[in-house]
Amino acid sequence: MGLFFEKVTRKKSAKPIVILRVLMLIAMSIFLIMTLFNDLNMYFLKYVFVIAGVFSIMDGIESYFHKQSRKVILTEMGVGVVYIILSISIK
């Protein structure tokens, strides 16, 4: 049972980063709503993926400052790059 309920030690984010995350989540939700109201227009969906990529890269940078393992940092940065490349590939 202890395997599934392992205690995670994560340091708290700084207040400006939390505010930036909230603003980015609001922007993502607005773009998703605009995508749905404009008959699934992919133009707005591009911005959702860009924001998700920036969000993930920002998590990677924060992990670097919290001195987490290199594997965690590179994974978060890699996912961010994949999101941005996905947004570029959407026409």
pLDDT in tens, 39-79: 888 888 899 999 999 999 998 998 888 888 899 889 999 99
- Residue ranges covered by each domain of the chain: 15-89
Place of tokens 């890699």: 78
The Cβ of residue 56 has, within 10 Å, a number of other Cβ atoms equal to 20
The Cβ of residue 61 has, within 10 Å, a number of other Cβ atoms equal to 15
**Pick from 14, 4, 89: which is nearest to 50 by CA?**
89
Predicted local distance difference test score (pLDDT) of residue 14: 79
Interatomic CA distance for residues 42 and 37, integer angstroms: 12
Predicted local distance difference test score (pLDDT) of residue 66: 85
